[in-house]
Structure 1
């Protein structure tokens, strides 16, 4: 297996040296590198970090010869001579390209790199269309001779000279650490690049947000966090732990409909601080969870068809915390219509579905909000999910499970109802509802056409029953249960006494055929009631 024969050496390049090397063709980009992906805001933040003295990450460079060639680096294109000691960028291309372009006069023609320094407030901004003495283009403020010419041209701003030259010094002398590899094949360097960019787990958006707005360090034990919001709601409602990114979106949705906005400036306007936003977001999210459980019939987070529905509900309840019964009924119809339609009418994107619906919630009119929500999911091509396929991690599968939960499933041994806390305990820390969902017949003994069928699945909130062998539980009536009570237990799992007889007689195919039909019919009735839509009659399921 190929490997590096010599360890990388540590080096430090100041920005002046680094961009000069890029302009002279001494820095090259390997073929396996992706193109330049940064937007103007990314470039602006890089320069802001440099002037503030923040770390901007390290580079990984591969030192090897390079032939004479036409080099393209962002908006820059130039003829680079052959060299024996070119630096090939393995990691850090975005930063080097941003620096080389934004600090070169030719880079100002590309809007991604057309930045200037505003002496009035010490901020990097987009270069204005017309000259402003106090807004200096980066190529000018980076070059000491050019900055002196600038102040000679605009003597009225002479008192800003010290500020400008200080920025010039910071930009030119800012150190960027690097590792330089002097030996190794292209395959080894490509492997290093792949590992650096793909093997590690990237920070989630909620993790970035939490880091940006960590709160008062001296009050960490009492400061509300995204994690504590999820834990608190789970403790109060036994809803399961909502993932951090969904909680963040809910917090953002309360404050504004675009939940994909730049989080780096969330509290810049000073109208609401971080702690107030977290508290209000928690309250609205809790009301949304109560609605989902009590009105919509979704007992647990892992039975929620789509997470974006909780985000939209949070925005609604933030602005209308106490809607009346009629409004709640309308909201329930929207919820289930949106679940049945799914994100697919929004170009298949859950993010698109979420934004399309958060924007329908007006801060001035609950009636307009409800009308807008209903309108956006009103489609004529809606249909009931097919119970021939049930996966516990898919939206359609969760809809089917919610319809089974609506039957009020009961323990086949004790006839006790499976209450919501018991469901939550069964699911526990799992990432899906699978631990609470059992197979009636061992799937190994079922034909491939029904291996995923909801006709062979039921909600069984007990760790005492083998999850793949519960047919025996429904084959024999417990002696302590009367006929009516036993039939009620069977009905709570979409079964009849005659179907239990089929299990007892090992007539598995006949049992699954009949139960599929009952489960599909129950799903249709459930959604007709919840959505307020009339669904077509269910066609008999064929083998």
Structure 2
């Protein structure tokens, strides 16, 4: 144990840059109410716990702000103390009492005040967070001036002698309070990460990603920072959302390193393994995205029927080489077939860990043997897929349907223009998909008994908004006249529509289009 420090001394060390926050710590999460109870505990002489610091002469490559404050650079050739345990308490005390640094904007932070009119009740706090307009100087004393003599005297002006005695005792209590400090002095970063992980297993539980970040951390590697940088690289390609999906990131890491994505496999990853394999993981993810775009017209994570499928692809494409894995035409066809069979069989709807384990192993075999069948699991498609599923861009079946439409290179129904899939499929907006038999036409003319029959997959197609405005509620036999006859065969073919689509009734149209869709689906899964 080191010598305990007075609160004022702790604030001085933070202000001078000696005490800092490592990047593997979580952010500041305490509410103003929690800060109030911390101050009340100090006021009443309750223990507030020990602060654990890691002392080193080597500054970390990546650090965190301390709450709302960006800390100044430390003095040269001076040991730095990084907070391993007690960050929330230190940040709270600093935020309340410091007067030298300007805080970054935070609308949620409220200053803390001492209620000198309240009774001393052991279970109740005498400290309250207040908005500026709620401050009443005849009842509350601001805590942020306790260690600033000029501000302290000004705040005490006008108070009666009895109240000033109470306030002076308050100041004395906080000046005399000593915070227990424990210092771990080592240059072994792996040892530090292990200690941090152990602390947080027995204290406030971190999520798995935070634990792995601590476990894999070193001065030149921070998992959160590495994934943030990767997200910036892939953002222009529509996959920036990967930075928010911590679970998927972890599974990509574990899938490449251990060939397993079970929680136990993830938590048992060694930090050195993550650091040593991250280039492979990163290249695997980038090559998977490239493959999905070029071969399957997948232009965003949200447009993938199952984002979890990227884990197995990452395993196949993982390599140290920046130019990626060179694959054969047979391997390409196998990967495409695996994608479609996984989608239509809803392989990743349940038992995801088992599916990952089997597919990760299959990807290894395919890398060694281009003739290896990676999609031998059961899969079948029939007309009910297109005649019973409603169009909803947030569902797996609709995303599978959209991806299949995109695979055919669709044309907009009136203009005949090629659909810009890179734009449409980045956001997957329902505004780019419309009914071949318009809603109003079906409702007003046919008076369908079941409104759900209107929104079936078999009645949906790519159609830009301007073309849709031309169609409105016209029946197909009428808006057919708006289409250039030269473009008509291509529009129908790329839209899986029968040649007589605009000349038959709705039921017959659904039957014939579903037949075409099923025929194509069976072709791509086999």
**TM-score, normalisation: structure 1:** 0.50
Q: Is the 8 A contact 2:366 2:372 kept in 1?
A: no
Residue in structure 2 matching 1:328, options 332, 343, 359:
332
What is the 5 A alignment of 1:258-273?
258-259=260-261, 260-261=263-264, 266-268=269-271, 270=272, 273=275
Cα distance in 1 between the residues matched to 2:367 and 2:406: 34
Residue deviations 1:6-41 (CA, integer Å, cap 9, x gap):
x9794376599xxxxxxxxxxxxxxxxxxxxxxxxx
What is the 5 A alignment of 1:463-478?
463-464=465-466, 470=472, 472=474, 475-477=478-480
Q: Is the 8 A contact 1:296 1:530 kept in 2?
A: no
* CA-CA distance at 1:309 after TM superposition: 1.3
**2:432 equivalent in structure 1:** 436
**2:511 equivalent in structure 1:** 517
Q: Is the 8 A contact 1:437 1:467 kept in 2?
A: no
Q: Is the 8 A contact 2:411 2:491 kept in 1?
A: yes
Specify whether residues 349 and 385 from structure 1 end up closer, same or farther in structure 2 by C-alpha distance, changes over 3 A only: farther
Cα distance in 2 between the residues matched to 1:364 and 1:391: 35
**2:462 equivalent in structure 1:** 459
Q: Is the 8 A contact 1:251 1:278 kept in 2?
A: yes
Q: Is the 8 A contact 1:302 1:433 kept in 2?
A: no
**1:11 equivalent in structure 2:** 41
Classify the secondary structure of the residue corresponding to 1:374.
Answer: coil
What is the 5 A alignment of 1:43-54?
54=85
**TM-score, normalisation: structure 2:** 0.51
* CA-CA distance at 1:433 after TM superposition: 4.5
Residue deviations 1:207-246 (CA, integer Å, cap 9, x gap):
76567767769x99xx9632442342242x4567446323
Cα distance in 1 between the residues matched to 2:469 and 2:86: 53
Cα distance in 2 between the residues matched to 1:395 and 1:14: 53
Specify whether residues 394 and 353 from structure 1 end up closer, same or farther in structure 2 by C-alpha distance, changes over 3 A only: farther
Cα distance in 2 between the residues matched to 1:290 and 1:205: 28
Classify the secondary structure of the residue corresponding to 1:488.
Answer: helix
Q: Is the 8 A contact 2:412 2:462 kept in 1?
A: no
Specify whether residues 282 and 500 from structure 1 end up closer, same or farther in structure 2 by C-alpha distance, changes over 3 A only: same
Cα distance in 1 between the residues matched to 2:360 and 2:255: 7
CA RMSD of aligned residues (A): 4.8
Cα distance in 1 between the residues matched to 2:258 and 2:500: 55
Cα distance in 2 between the residues matched to 1:251 and 1:369: 27
* CA-CA distance at 1:477 after TM superposition: 4.3
* CA-CA distance at 1:453 after TM superposition: 0.5
* CA-CA distance at 1:249 after TM superposition: 2.5
1:407 aligns with 2:408: yes
**2:453 equivalent in structure 1:** 450
Cα distance in 2 between the residues matched to 1:515 and 1:239: 37
1:284 aligns with 2:287: no
**2:369 equivalent in structure 1:** 367
Cα distance in 2 between the residues matched to 1:365 and 1:455: 37
Classify the secondary structure of the residue corresponding to 1:438.
Answer: strand
Residue in structure 2 matching 1:489, options 483, 491, 495:
491
**1:529 equivalent in structure 2:** 523
Return 5+ residue gaps in structure 1 as ranges. Answer: 17-51, 59-84, 87-120, 124-166, 178-201, 503-509, 533-543
Cα distance in 2 between the residues matched to 1:397 and 1:333: 19
Specify whether residues 455 and 528 from structure 1 end up closer, same or farther in structure 2 by C-alpha distance, changes over 3 A only: closer
Q: Is the 8 A contact 2:498 2:513 kept in 1?
A: no
* CA-CA distance at 1:267 after TM superposition: 4.6
Classify the secondary structure of the residue corresponding to 2:434.
Answer: strand
Residue deviations 1:432-466 (CA, integer Å, cap 9, x gap):
54343223423793632414401332123x35456
Cα distance in 1 between the residues matched to 2:317 and 2:460: 35
What is the 5 A alignment of 1:347-362?
348-362=350-364
Specify whether residues 227 and 471 from structure 1 end up closer, same or farther in structure 2 by C-alpha distance, changes over 3 A only: farther
Classify the secondary structure of the residue corresponding to 1:458.
Answer: strand
Residue deviations 1:180-200 (CA, integer Å, cap 9, x gap):
xxxxxxxxxxxxxxxxxxxxx
Q: Is the 8 A contact 1:297 1:402 kept in 2?
A: yes
What is the 5 A alignment of 1:274-313?
277-296=277-296, 298-313=298-313
Residue deviations 1:88-123 (CA, integer Å, cap 9, x gap):
xxxxxxxxxxxxxxxxxxxxxxxxxxxxxxxxx999
Q: Is the 8 A contact 1:284 1:314 kept in 2?
A: yes
